[in-house]
Each structure stands twice: as structure tokens, then as C-alpha cells.
Chain A
């Protein structure tokens, strides 16, 4: 199966700093999403960016999408300790039907 790859696998920053996570796929993608998962819990949808969009904002979140590079990035600005979680990208792959294919995730730790 074609999984998304996320980079870095783990990230540790201080409160107030920005956190950037990247996601890439090997095949063409449509409609990429980002999800957040607190430890031991289910995932929560954060933001969706469509394949004809290049950038999208939601509060402290900024997502970019580069379909030519088959990649996306998630920027969390002015991070807080409560942002500590794992973050996953998920995309519909061309030829993959209407199923979301998830990345392997980035573990973010925001320290006080």
C-alpha cells in the first residue's frame, strides 16, 4: 500500500515556538487532510486542503500543498503545551478510490 511519509517522526520544541511538519506521498494526491491524535485517543480532523488550493489557514494552523511535489506541510504557530500530540496527514491517492491513506505521523512535544 502507498503510505504517506511524515518528517520528522518526532519534534520537540519550546512553548511559543513554531512547529513545522511535512508529509509526502509517492503517487499523485487529491484533497489532503491533517489530523491530530492525543495519546491513546482517536484522531480529530484539523483541516482539509483541496488539490486546487496551495495554502489554507485555520487559527494557528497553516497548511500548504504542492501537488507537483506530492507533499504538504503543517505549520503550528505560537505553539502551546496543549498542542502536544501526534499529527497525521491523510490523502486520497489517484487511483486509490475514495479511501484516505494516512501518513506515519509526527509526534510533537511542546515543553513549557
Chain B
């Protein structure tokens, strides 16, 4: 029973192309996140969203944008792909948690491995 679905497992794009990575969750989660994962650097947060049409920058938003038109869908957009955006992209979702007593337990998708040539 897949709960967070990422549209593509593997993509190969050329420098300058516009790239869309789609993520859909079926758990009615309020929060959705996009991370990228690179060897030796762990997971780094690109963007996140706490509600429909709402977005906030994470730690490395440069070169990326996002869209959340519906609660279940969170899209990551690379306006003009570059070779340094070759990476594994991970989408995650969670229920809203109340800081500090709550905690975001994330449910991840399987990941999308993007290669930019």
C-alpha cells in the first residue's frame, strides 16, 4: 500500500530543460516536503508546505520552485536544470505537529533519481 508516490523513479534531462517532479500522498497530511540527497551530505531540505497554496523555503531553495494547488500533491520544479542538480530527490509528508511537544514523523516516497547531462 503505497502512501507517498513520486511520479518518476529515474529521469535523464539535458542542461537548461524544465523539469517537473510530482509527488502525491493519500494520507490527508497537511505537511509536504522536498529533499535532495547527495553522498556525504545527507538529506537537505529544498522546500516545504504546511497547507494548500502555501510554501516555505528550506535550506537550499536556489534553482528550485514548488507548487501545491491541492492538498495531496506537491510538485518540485527545476526551471532550468543544471548538472549540479543531478541528485536523488525525496518527497515526504506528515501530519501537522505542534511545536515543541509534537514532532513531524515523515512518510517518504521511493525517490526520484535525476541525472542532468
Contact = CB atoms under 8 A, between A and B. Distances in A.
A97 interface: yes
Contact of B42 (A33, A51, A99, A102): A102
Given A42-B4, A42-B108, A104-B41, A31 B103 contact: yes
Interface of A: 1, 3-4, 30-31, 33, 35, 40-45, 48, 50-51, 88, 90, 92, 97-105
A98 B42 CA distance: 19
Interface residues of B, number: 29
B100 A102 contact: no
Interface of B: 4, 35, 40-45, 48, 58-60, 90, 92, 97, 99-111, 113
Question: Which label, helix, strand, loop or mixed, suits the secondary structure of the A interface?
Answer: strand
A50 B43 CA distance: 21
Given A30-B100, A42-B4, A102 B43 contact: yes
A48 B105 contact: yes
Contact of A42 (B41, B100, B110): B110
Given A42-B109, A45-B107, A98 B99 contact: yes
Contacts of A33: 103, 105
B109 A99 contact: no
Nearest to B6: A42
A99 B45 contact: yes
A51 B102 CA distance: 11
Contact of A1 (B44, B90, B99): B44
Contacts of B4: 42
B81 to A, nearest CB: 21
